[in-house]
Amino acid sequence: MVCTLLLVAGCSSGTSDPKNSTSPLRMRLMSAQQYSTTLAFVFGTDVSDSVPSALPPLTRTDGMLELGAASIGVTSDQLQQLSQSAAAVAAKVVDEKHRDYLIPCKPAAKDAADPACARRFVQSTGRLLYRRRLRPDEITRWVNEAGAAATRLKDFYAGLAGVIEGMLVSPEVIFIVEHSEADPRRPGHQRLDAYSLASRLSFFLWNAAPDDELLQSAENGEIQTAQGRARVVDRMLASSRLENGVRAFFDDLLEFDKFNSLAKDSVAYPTITGATLADAREQTLRTVVDHLLTRNLDYRDLFTTHATFISMNLAAIYGIPAVPGWTPYEFPAETHRGGMLTQVSFLAAHAHPARSSATLRGKALRELLLCQKVPAPPPNVDFSLLEDPDSSLHTARERLQVHAKNPSCAGCHLIMDPMGLALEKFDGAGQFRETEKGAAIDTGGNLDGAPFSDVDGLNRALHDHPMLPTCLVKRVYSYGTGGPVSMGADRNVLAYLMQRFAQAGYKYPDLLRDIALSSAFSQIREPRAVAPDGTSPSPPPQVTALNLP
């Protein structure tokens, strides 16, 4: 398995961007987080944070939730909830507290229609929500609707609220729909149009819709030139909004959506509360941002570093003095708390409510960090020896040896359990222990031929594993282009990106930049026939209109 995947990453004749690499057009549902972040960018956090999103949860596809956005729709019940959420946002935007700075003009009279003021609002706000400049007919329609409602209700702001609500449930707002155009540099081929490229960049790097400056670069054509796109991408990478994008990606990669419903047995782990688990998630994300962005360090060192952040809730779990707020902290080497794998987030998320699980942890390492799919267990597996607390088998290693005797189980457990057993000195809540049921815990094993005796050795073996950065490249590229990779069509661009990543010292911002500036990021796969006038006769992806109840 490993050798095959390494060939994909390593066989490239050079490091130049493969000019014929392409990616498909995408149409995907905005995630709840992207919707909320977009509302925050357009209207402010006091508006977005007070209204829960009603967008449906995504389905994890090829290891990432975001990749499932292309295969999910909105039911009538969900649309009703979304409409209610949109109405709440609209009411806040036009209330007396917010209207003076969110609406760029004041009506001639509050109790009557004002087409000129409504037009100014529709043009400016609609452009941000739709991620493009609105067409004249769209502007006219929204202005007429605002005017009719204002006249009927004798309230200019109530009329404008109806327009805001309508925009927020528009298919072109809640779905990210990409469009293509003829590529003047590649006759007969297609590229993302400027607005679609701006959106793809923004959701990739910022996890939200484009801002005004990014839309301007699309409108003036700058984004479609090599020099212009480089300037645009460099500005985005230097923005504080990049942290939102990095957090969103790693929250998805590490399956931290589990924390939305994660709970631990209060009898087995009385000190673990919902606040503790929330802080565990935040600890790892803070560590990631500090390591990859603030200090711009080697991605692989995330799995060996002792530097992190601690809150009061986590201090009790880690057995260190509590200090108010979040504070930087470096674990001593003898604590064996090196890298993300030994943080409470990973250990608690990949365990059972009342006990640890070497198999779940090993499976997570294989699938999330090495991109190696572990087959599902065969039917009718006997788990009684693993789950019986009165069993004479004291440690997880002893219990898992039962599976090694079953040929149908042994193969998969062989690639999961050695890594998971190295983490067995941390219980199901991530607390350190030396024994289990009075028996000493053996943490020795090997990772694809690299032996280790403890968790520090596992961390080093994972750090040095060639699939660790290769897997990240695949995940980030698929996340950025909005869908699963094709190991046939995407083989060359993945090899190019992997080489660039290694040459840059495995620096995450450099990887983001290389992906955003690659030909594959903007050039479209399976180009449509191009008419003599340079237009594409085939229609772009369309979203079926949603009928509000």
Contact 363, 349 (CB under 8 A): no
> Mean pLDDT for the chain?
88
Contact 257, 487 (CB under 8 A): no
How many other CB atoms are found less than 10 A from the CB of residue 515? 24
For residue 139, pLDDT beyond 90: yes
Among the listed ranges 20-29, 50-59, 175-184, which one has the minimum average pLDDT value? Answer: 50-59
Domain annotation covers residue 260: no
Distances (CA, A) of 549 to 51, 79, 86, 153, 360: 21, 8, 14, 21, 44
Res 362: pLDDT: 92
Among the listed ranges 222-226, 236-240, 403-407, which one has the minimum average pLDDT value? Answer: 403-407
Domain annotation covers residue 86: yes
Q: In the predicted model, what is the mean pLDDT of residues 362-391?
A: 74
- Residue 121 neighbours by CB under 8 Å, 6+ apart: 103, 104, 105, 160, 163
Res 538: pLDDT: 40
Distance between CA atoms of residues 522 and 381, nearest Å: 47
The band of 238, judged by pLDDT with boundaries at 50, 70 and 90, is very high
For residue 475, pLDDT beyond 60: yes
Q: In the predicted model, what is the mean pLDDT of residues 6-15?
A: 38
Instruction: Fill in the amino acid letter for 281.
Output: R
Contact 183, 191 (CB under 8 A): yes
Among the listed ranges 381-385, 391-395, 443-447, 528-532, which one has the minimum average pLDDT value? Answer: 528-532
Alpha helices in 449-543 (DSSP H): 455-464, 467-481, 491-503, 508-517, 519-522
Domain annotation covers residue 149: yes
Distances (CA, A) of 262 to 240, 348, 354: 30, 9, 12
Q: pTM for this one?
A: 0.89
Domain annotation covers residue 304: no
- Residue 268 neighbours by CB under 8 Å, 6+ apart: 353, 354, 355, 428, 429
Residues 266-317: pLDDT tens digits?
999 999 999 999 999 999 999 999 999 999 999 999 999 999 999 999 999 9
Contacts 24+ apart (CB under 8 A), 531-535: 534/182, 534/184, 535/182
**Nearest to 442, CA basis, from 457, 428, 422:** 422
State what percent of residues in the chain have pLDDT above 70. Answer: 86
Query: Distance of alpha carbon 179 from its chain centroid, rounded?
Result: 23
Residues 405-441: pLDDT tens digits?
665 555 566 667 888 899 999 999 999 999 988 889 9
Domain annotation covers residue 155: yes
The one-character DSSP state at 68 is G
The total number of structural domains in the chain stands at 1
Instruction: Fill in the amino acid letter for 271.
Output: T
b/e map of 334-364 (b: 16 or more CB within 10 Å)? eebbbbbbbbbbbbbbbbeebbbbbbbbbbb
Res 169: pLDDT: 93
Among the listed ranges 34-43, 119-128, 386-395, 447-456, which one has the minimum average pLDDT value? Answer: 386-395
The β-bridge partners of 330 are 307
How many other CB atoms are found less than 10 A from the CB of residue 267? 7
Res 412: pLDDT: 60
Domain annotation covers residue 6: no
Domain annotation covers residue 81: yes
Domain annotation covers residue 252: no
Question: Which residues span the domain enclosing 116?
Answer: 27-176
Please report, for the chain, how many H helices and E strands are present, in that order. 25, 10
Distance between CA atoms of residues 69 and 32, nearest Å: 11
For residue 542, pLDDT beyond 70: no
**Nearest to 428, CA basis, from 360, 337, 353:** 353
Res 114: pLDDT: 97
Res 175: pLDDT: 94
Distances (CA, A) of 153 to 97, 142, 148, 162, 217: 21, 16, 9, 11, 39
Res 383: pLDDT: 56
For residue 249, pLDDT beyond 70: yes
Res 380: pLDDT: 63
